[in-house]
Amino acid sequence: MKRRDFLKTSVVAGAALSMNIEGLSAALNNPETAAAAPDLVAVMGGEPEVMLDRALEALGGIGKFVKKGQKIVIKPNIGWDRAPERAANTNPDLIKALVKRCLNAGASKVTVFDHTCDDWQKCYKTSGIEAAVKEAGGIMLPGNDEKYYKSVTIPGGIKLKEVKIHDALLEADAWINVPILKHHDGAKFSCAMKNLMGIVWDRQTFHRGDLQQSIADLCVWQKKPVLNIIDAYRMMAKNGPQGRSIADVQTPKQLLASTDIVALDAAGLATFNQYAPVKLEVATVGHIGHGEMLKLGSTNLSKLNIQRIKI
């Protein structure tokens, strides 16, 4: 992909969902908004650690999100027993760098976990995330047993009213959501909002009901991530969420970050459509529109200050 096409592709908007991201390219190139603190940062062309540093710098530094003495949780996607090059899980180099940045900011403890789909020990090891976290000074926690979860209510949820969430998040001072961008055969698209399914025990509740609405409902939970970071260094363009072969993988070498989880997923979908063989309309990825209707964020990217960084 030519660099001038970076994040230019718009997603087809569904009028009923009030989705308008046709102004994404204009927002990225608007000199009047470039100097202000951005609502969303999109970085292209570097290695994960370098892109993370550039994104954090643009957003005001890691200290804006992590305070001295805080207990921090980082929630990647570690759902599958797949090596990093298969793009089923978040890039371990990104997680390693983020753990280091949190500790350097004065975090008293940084823990990492996921409620995996495959065997949790295999997922943690094969993904490379367990080794990366330990090398950086963080702590890996299991998420494979119901004893680690407690029931919480979701005031404002439409379909999802109560769910069991991992203790680590309940005890944390703040947490950071770090999904990988990929195709998903059930939800159609897996990114920041979908990644929250890994914080709960009873995931089958989502699949037995309205999956798209339940994903959005979970994001209503009052303890929201202080930052969302999309890993799009590698991207599973088809056959997600676990993939069939390396042929399913593209390498955008991108990273996107924002506190607005809805805007970030909308921008992630624009990136996804540049590489995926089957393009997705936002109306097809219902949880994004549901999230906007629940006032979790904006899909009107033309109204946001988006900073683009090329390395």
Q: Give the chain's domains with CATH numbers.
A: 48-297 (3.40.50.11440)
- Of 114, 199, 204, 211, nearest to 150 (Cα)? 199
Query: Which of the pair, 205 or 259, is modelled with greater confidence?
Result: 259
Q: Is the pLDDT of residue 13 over 60?
A: no
Q: What is the pLDDT of residue 17?
A: 33
Angle at 198 between CA 194 and CA 199, to 5 degrees: 110
Average pLDDT of the residues in 245-267: 98
Helices (H), 151-251: 167-171, 192-195, 204-208, 211-218
pLDDT tens-digit readout, 170-187: 999 999 999 999 999 999
Quickly state the pLDDT bin for 115 (edges 50, 70, 90).
very high
Average pLDDT of the residues in 108-122: 98
Cα separations in angstroms, 39 against 11, 229, 256, 259, 305: 19, 13, 11, 7, 5
Q: Phi/psi zone of residue 30: left (φ > 0), alpha (ψ -120 to 50 degrees), beta?
A: beta
Q: Is the pLDDT of residue 31 over 70?
A: no
Q: Is the pLDDT of residue 3 over 50?
A: no
pLDDT tens-digit readout, 193-209: 999 999 999 988 887 87
Provide, rounded to the nearest whole percent, the portion of the chain with pLDDT above 90. Answer: 85
3-state per-residue secondary structure call for 103-134 = HHCCCCEEEECCCCCCCHHHHHHHCCHHHHHH
Q: Which residues pair with 174 in a beta bridge?
A: 72
Mean model confidence pLDDT for the chain: 91
Quickly state the pLDDT bin for 306 (edges 50, 70, 90).
very high
Give the separation between CA 279 and CA 125, rounded to whole angstroms: 33
Q: What is the pLDDT of residue 18?
A: 34
Cα 185 to chain centroid, rounded: 17
Q: Is the pLDDT of residue 225 over 80?
A: yes
pLDDT tens-digit readout, 72-96: 999 999 999 999 999 999 999 999 9
pLDDT tens-digit readout, 134-160: 999 999 999 999 999 999 999 999 999
